[in-house]
């Protein structure tokens, strides 16, 4: 399926996917150009500061290849840069790279690989509204705020379990007492019946003594 998609979208070295993003500091273009059959139907990311003008991508009604495109853009005062996938990811979240472009769409406080993975997981779960377990949700929050925690070496889930251990033990004791309730009531009824019989025997004791005397 992935191979078919690559062949469809990047069938030639003049295949492009383009998007213009409006940022506070001005419009930018982010693009993907195909490598064609000779490049294994791969692709190359690129970006530049400026508005998207499809006229820059054509000459004599023919789409330009990447090298020709970059030359044409430069002649128009637009400097395009090739981007590696990880460079593009970092630029989109405000990370630092050697590329002199600011493509920050979603500023993250931390741009480490772990933070990017956490953001992706949170975003996909929110996007698809998938069911998520309490344990998974807890771990996602811990990952999201990892940079704010005093120590990344502390097992906060284990620490939370330790903090609530006494509460859970008390809960277990309470549940045990609730289960033992019928037995306690039966025992109390037996003690009450015993005391009642003892009272009757005490009242009959003088009569028995006179009869046996």
pLDDT of residue 66: 95
Please report the sign of the dihedral spanned by the C-alpha atoms of residue 3, residue 64, residue 104, residue 24. Answer: negative
pLDDT tens, position by position, 110-161? 777 777 777 777 777 777 766 667 777 777 777 767 666 555 555 667 777 7
SS3 of 43, please?
strand
pLDDT of residue 191: 80
Which residues are within 8 A (CB) of 6 and not within 5 positions of it... i.e. 6 or more apart? 41, 42, 43
Contact 89, 112 (CB under 8 A): no
pLDDT of residue 197: 75
Question: How far apart are alpha carbons 129 and 114 in whole angstroms?
Answer: 22
SS3 of 63, please?
strand
Beta bridge partners of 22: 27
Residue whose pair of structure tokens reads 């009642």 in the numeric block? 196
pLDDT tens, position by position, 5-62? 888 888 899 999 999 999 999 999 999 999 888 888 899 999 999 999 999 999 998 9
Largest CA distance in the chain: 138
């Amino acid at each position: 399926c992935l191979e078919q998609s690559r062949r469809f979208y990047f069938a030639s070295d003049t295949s492009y996917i383009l998007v213009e993003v409006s940022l506070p500091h001005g419009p930018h273009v982010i693009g993907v150009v195909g490598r064609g059959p000779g490049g294994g139907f791969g692709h190359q990311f690129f970006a530049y500061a400026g508005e998207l003008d499809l006229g820059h991508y054509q000459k004599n009604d023919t789409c330009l290849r990447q090298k020709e495109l970059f030359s044409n853009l430069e002649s128009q005062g637009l400097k395009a840069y090739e981007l590696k996938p990880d460079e593009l990811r970092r630029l989109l979240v405000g990370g630092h790279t050697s590329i002199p472009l600011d493509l920050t769409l979603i500023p993250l406080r931390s741009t480490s690989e772990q933070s990017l993975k956490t953001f992706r997981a949170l975003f996909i779960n929110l996007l698809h509204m998938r069911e998520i377990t309490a344990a998974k949700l807890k771990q996602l929050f811990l990952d999201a705020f990892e940079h704010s925690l005093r120590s990344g070496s502390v097992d906060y889930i284990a620490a939370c379990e330790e903090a609530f251990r006494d509460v859970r033990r008390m809960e277990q004791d309470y549940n045990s007492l609730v289960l033992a309730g019928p037995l306690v009531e039966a025992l109390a009824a037996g003690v009450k019946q015993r005391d009642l019989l003892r009272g009757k025997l005490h009242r009959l004791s003088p009569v028995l003594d006179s009869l046996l005397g």
